[in-house]
Amino acid sequence: MTARTHGTSALGEFLSSRRAQLTPAAIGLPDYGDQRRVPGLRREEVAQLAGVSVAYYTRLERGASLNASPQVLDALATALGLDEAERRHLHGLSGDGRQRTRRRRRTAEQVTAPMRQLMDVFGDAPAILLGRRSDVLAWNRSGHALFAGHLDPDSPNRLGERPNTAKLVFLDAHTRELYDADWPRKARDVVGKLRAAVGEDPDDPQLASLIGELSMGSQQFAALWGEHRVRAWDLAEYRMRHPMVGAMDVLQHSLPVPRAAGARLVVVTAAPGSYAQTALRLLAHASFPEPPDSLDTGRADTPRPVAGPTPGQ
């Protein structure tokens, strides 16, 4: 398994997938009720909408031509009804060379002092720092308690043992229960963000290994991966059901981290005056009671274990 999937090019697979998921009626084309041999739009219909020849579009889908111009890619994005995240992904998959020449040498992701300072700004709000492959690089005490209280709080500090949020969502029973009825939507969001990561760096071997592990370990992941959906890192609302404080309607804000390519800070908030806001505060203070002022507790951001169910319970 590789991040760049087998067969046609990643660009061709994305175009073919998006074409298959559109109907003529969805984009204003007449449907005369004839028996269509393919699901969704035909190649000639996409080519007509984008203003390119059928032969050229066919070469794009088959991987025989990768150097589509930005203008052609924009036309294809409009023809296929792509949103902004999908449009960026399409450009990222193209072989025009501009993005790939800007890619830096991959280095081990490290947590810097400015990153920790940024996390500290959010106080008791649950916050986790994610790398470009969705590895947990760091979390504050509330973030650990909310998302993974059943895991070792020091695990992000050990390079080979960092939790990965995509693995947690698909392979960890505690995390599945945490998202409760919203798990299917969370799963789609996770896959869509990994698709976006592949568009940014399709030749990343560690990303390819992650995708292979998830595909082998979860049929649901494999099915969603085949849909080629892309999701933006921005804002999402979920109902989370935590074993300590119950159900909460929360917002997960995803913020880009300056000078940290691909890293995101995910911060969780709730509506003012809501039960969820109270629950988040209870979770933080019940799990990590404030020490007496007279005690020397050392670093304020040192995680402490949180009681919680073990995976599979």
pLDDT tens string 145-190: 999 999 999 999 988 899 999 999 999 999 999 999 999 999 999 9
* Share above pLDDT 70 across residues of the chain, in percent, rounded to a whole number: 80
Mean pLDDT computed over 228-232: 86
Angle, CA 207 vertex, CA 202 and CA 212 arms, to 5°: 105
Residues for the chain: how many in total?
Answer: 313
Residue 115 tokens read as 């990153």
- Position 313 pLDDT exceeds 70: no
In degrees and rounded to multiples of 5, residue 5 shows phi and psi of -65, 155
The full DSSP string for 35-92 is: --SSSS--HHHHHHHHTS-HHHHHHHHHTS-----HHHHHHHHHHTT--HHHHHHHHH
Cβ pair 280, 125 in contact under 8 A: yes
DSSP code of residue 9: -
Q: Given this model, what pLDDT does residue 8 score?
A: 54
Residues forming a β-bridge with 241: 247
Nearest to 9 by CA among 68, 54, 72: 68
Distance separating the N- and C-terminal Cα atoms of the chain: 31
DSSP code of residue 22: -
- Position 220 pLDDT exceeds 70: yes
Q: How far is Cα of residue 142 from the mean position of the Cα atoms in its chain?
A: 21
Q: Given this model, what pLDDT does residue 148 score?
A: 94
**Lowest mean pLDDT segment, chosen from 94-103, 106-115, 240-249, 256-265:** 94-103
Residues forming a β-bridge with 248: 240
DSSP code of residue 26: G
188 class by beta-carbon count within 10 Å (0-12 exposed, 13-18 middle, 19+ buried): middle
Q: Which CATH number applies to 10-102: 1.10.260.40, 3.40.30.10, 3.30.1600.10, 3.30.565.10?
A: 1.10.260.40
Q: Which pTM value belongs to this model? A: 0.73
- Position 307 pLDDT exceeds 50: no
Domain boundaries, the chain: 10-102, 113-287
Please count the helices (runs of H) and the strands (runs of E) in the chain: 14, 5
Q: Given this model, what pLDDT does residue 201 score?
A: 81
**Mean pLDDT, all residues of the chain:** 81
Please state, in angstroms and as integers, the Cα–Cα distance from residue 225 to each residue in 5, 180, 228, 263, following that order: 11, 21, 6, 22
More confident residue, 268 or 81: 268
Percentages (nearest 5) of helix, strand, coil residues in the chain: 45, 10, 40
Residues forming a β-bridge with 235: 253
Q: At what angle do helices 70-79 and 43-50 cross, to 10 degrees?
A: 120
Nearest to 128 by CA among 211, 233, 47, 222: 233
Q: Given this model, what pLDDT does residue 27 score?
A: 65
Residue range 113-287, CATH number: 3.30.450.180
- Give 312's pLDDT tier (boundaries 50, 70, 90): very low
- Position 12 pLDDT exceeds 50: yes
Q: Given this model, what pLDDT does residue 300 score?
A: 38
